[in-house]
Amino acid sequence: MFAHAYTILAAVVVVFLLAKTLRLSTELSMLASTVAGGVWHVFAWPGSGLRIFVPDNSLLRHIVEGMFTYFDVCLIFISATFFMTLVKESGGVAFIVRRIVKTFRTRRVVCLLLLTLVMLIPGALTGSGATAVLTVGALVGTVLSAMGVDDTRRTAAIFMTAAMSAAAPPINLWAMMAAAGANLPYVGFNGPLVVLSVAGAVFSMFWLAGGGKTADEEEAMKNLPMPPEGINGIRVAAPFVFLAALLLAGRVWPFDFPVIGLPMIFALSSLVVILCSGVRLKVWEILTRTVRNLLPLVGIMVVVGALIQILALSGVRGLISLKVVILPLSTLFATLFVILPVSEGILQYAVAPLLGVPLIMLFNMKGMDAIVALSAMSVLWPLGDCLPPTAVVGRAAVMELDFRGRYFGDFVKACLVPMAFVALCCTLFLIYSKQLSFLAF
Amino acid sequence: MNVSMIMFNQWITYGYYAMTFVFALALAWNLWKSKDPQESILYVVILIPFVLRLLRLK
Amino acid sequence: MDRTNRIKLAAVGVAVLAAVVASVEFLAMRNYRETVILGPSVSEVRKLSQYEPSLSGTPNDVNIYIMDSGKPGGTVMVLGGTHPEEPVGPIAAHILVENARLEAGRLVVVTRANRSASLYSRNGEAYPNFFRVKTDWGEKKWRLGDRGGSPLDSWPDPEVYVHWPSHQMLAYMDIRNLNRTWPGRADGLLTERTTFGLMNFIRQEKVDMLIDLHEAELEYPVENTIVAHEKAQEIAAMASMMLTAQEFAVPIGMEFSPKALHGLSHREVGDYSEAMSILFEVAEPMLDRIRGVTDESLLMEGKDDFVVEAGKHGLLYAPMDEKGWPIEVRVGRHLSTILQCIDIFSMMTPDRSVTVSGVPRYAEVIEKGPGAFLKDPAQAEKIAQD
B1, pLDDT greater than 50: no
A225, A209: one domain: yes
When comparing pLDDT for C121 and A251, which is higher?
C121
Identity of residue A285: E
Q: What is the ipTM of this complex?
A: 0.96
Question: Per the CB < 8 Å rule, is B42 touching A260?
Answer: no
The answer to whether residue A331 sits within a structural domain is no
Angle at A244 between CA A240 and CA A246, to 5 degrees: 120
> Cα dihedral angle (A281, A285, A287, A290), rounded to 10 degrees?
-110
Contact flag C159-A187 (C-beta cutoff 8 Å):
no
Query: What's the rounded Cα separation, in Å, for the pair C383 and C374?
Result: 13
Distance between CA atoms of residues C361 and C354, nearest Å: 17
What Cα–Cα distance (Å) separates residue C79 from each residue in C108, C267, C372?
9, 15, 22
CA distance A33 to A38: 8
Q: Note the pLDDT of residue C325.
A: 98
Q: Is the pLDDT of residue B2 over 70?
A: no
**Could you say which of A272, A292, A312 is where a domain stops?**
A292
Q: Are A156 and A393 contacting, i.e. CB atoms less than 8 angstroms apart? A: no
Residues 6+ apart with CB under 8 A from A138: A400, A401
Closest CA of chain A from C37, distance in Å: 26
A12 to chain B, minimum CA–CA distance in Å?
19
Q: Are A67 and A305 in contact (CB under 8 A)?
A: yes
Q: Is C25 on the interface with A (CB under 8 A)?
A: yes
Q: How is chain B split into domains, by residue range?
A: 2-54
Q: A186: nearest CA in chain C?
A: C171
Residue C211's pLDDT is 98
C87 within 8 A of C101, measured Cβ to Cβ: no
Residues A156 and A91 in one domain: yes
Please tell me whether residues A141 and A165 are part of one structural domain. Answer: yes
Put simply, the answer to whether C11 touches B41 (Cβ < 8 Å) is yes
Q: What is the mean pLDDT of residues A296-303?
A: 90
Residue closest to A265 by CA, chosen among A285, A250, A243, A283: A243
CB atoms within 10 A of CB C323: 13
Are residues A277 and A247 part of one domain? Answer: yes
Q: d(Cα C202, Cα C34) in Å, to the nearest integer?
A: 25
The neighbouring-strand residues paired with A207 are none
Give, in order, the Cα–Cα distances in Å from A158 to each of A116, A164, A289, A356: 9, 10, 22, 27
Residues with Cβ within 8 Å of A420's Cβ and at least 6 positions away in sequence, in order, are none
Rounded CA-CA distance C223/A90 in Å is 56
User: Domain containing A20: what range?
Assistant: 1-66
CA distance C167 to A253: 10
Nearest to C75 by CA among C205, C175, C251, C198: C205
Averaged over A367-378, what is the pLDDT? Answer: 95
Task: Say what percent of chain A tops pLDDT 90.
Answer: 67
Contacts of A267 in chain B (CB under 8 A): 15, 19
pLDDT score for A105: 82
Q: What percent of chain A has pLDDT over 70?
A: 100
User: What would the mean pLDDT of C328-350 be, rounded to a whole number?
Assistant: 98
C-alpha triplet A258, C162, A366: angle, nearest 5°: 145
Q: Is the pLDDT of residue C160 over 90?
A: no
User: Is the CB of residue C68 less than 8 Å from the CB of residue C41?
Assistant: yes
| A51, A77: one domain | no
Closest alpha carbon to A240 in A106, A378, A80: A80
Q: How many CB pairs under 8 A join A and B?
A: 76
CB C86 within 8 A of CB C284: yes
Same domain, A236 and A142: yes
Same structural domain for residues A20 and A81?
no
Which chains does B contact via 3+ CB–CB distances below 8 A?
Answer: A, C
The answer to whether residues A54 and A80 belong to one domain is no
Whole-number pLDDT of residue A441: 73
CA dihedral (C64, C69, C73, C78) in degrees, to 10, reads -30
Smallest Cα distance from A45 to chain C, Å: 9
Of residues C123, C172, C295, nearest to A65 (C-beta): C123
Quote the number of domains for chain A. Answer: 2
Render pLDDT for A105-136 as a digit per residue (tens, 0 to 9): 888 999 999 999 999 999 998 888 988 998 89
Say whether residue C312 is in contact with chain A using an 8 A CB cutoff: no
Q: What pLDDT score was predicted for residue A17? A: 95
pLDDT of residue B3: 61
Report the C-alpha gap between A155 and A10 in whole angstroms.
38
Helix (H) or strand (E) holding C212: strand C209-213
- Chain B residue with minimal CA distance to C119? B58
Mean pLDDT of A334-359: 87
Quick one: DSSP state of residue A353? I
Is the residue at A152 inside a domain? yes
Residue B43 has pLDDT above 70, yes or no: yes
Same domain assignment for residues A96 and A240: yes
Q: Which residues of B touch A288 (CB under 8 A)?
A: 26, 29-30, 33
In a domain, A300, yes or no: no
Same domain, A111 and A224: yes
Q: What is the Cα–Cα distance from A433 to A439, expressed in whole angstroms?
A: 10
What are the tens digits of pLDDT across the range C250-268?
999 999 999 988 999 999 9
Among A267, A292, A317, residue at a domain's last position: A292
The length of chain A, given as a count of residues: 441
**Local confidence band at A362 (pLDDT 50, 70, 90 cut-offs):** confident
Report the percentage of chain C scoring pLDDT > 70.
100
Q: Is pLDDT at A184 greater than 90 in this prediction?
A: no
Q: Is residue A371 part of a domain?
A: no
Q: Does A283 touch chain B (CB under 8 A)?
A: no
β C276-281/C225-228 pair status: antiparallel
Residue C203 scores a pLDDT above 80: yes
Question: Is the per-residue pLDDT at C306 higher than 90?
Answer: yes
Tell which of A249, A264, A292 closes a domain.
Answer: A292
Does B27 contact A291 at a Cβ distance shorter than 8 Å? yes
Task: Look at the alpha carbons of C176, C177, C180, C186 in this order and tell me if their dihedral is positive or negative.
Answer: positive
Separation in Å, CA of B32 to nearest CA in chain A:
11
Chain segment A35-94, per-residue pLDDT in tens: 999 999 999 999 999 999 888 899 999 999 999 998 998 998 899 899 989 999 999 999
Domains of chain C, each with CATH number or no CATH: 32-385 (3.40.630)
- pTM, to two decimals: 0.92
Q: Are residues A44 and A116 in the same domain?
A: no
- Which pLDDT belongs to residue A392? 84
- Chain C positions in Cβ-Cβ contact with residue A263 (cut-off 8 Å): 156
- Average pLDDT (C354-377) is 98
Q: Is the pLDDT of residue A214 over 60?
A: yes
A196 and A279 in one domain? yes
For B12, nearest residue in chain A (alpha carbons): A260
DSSP alpha helices (H): ranges in A148-256?
Answer: 151-167, 173-181, 190-209, 217-223, 233-252
CB contact under 8 A, A1 and C128: no
Note whether A55 contacts C159, CB cutoff 8 Å. no
Asked if residue A146 belongs to a domain, the reply is: yes
pLDDT, one tens digit per residue, over A418-436 is 999 999 999 999 999 999 9
Q: Are strands C253-256 and C225-228 parallel, antiparallel or unpaired?
A: parallel
Interchain contact, A261 vs B12, CB within 8 Å: yes
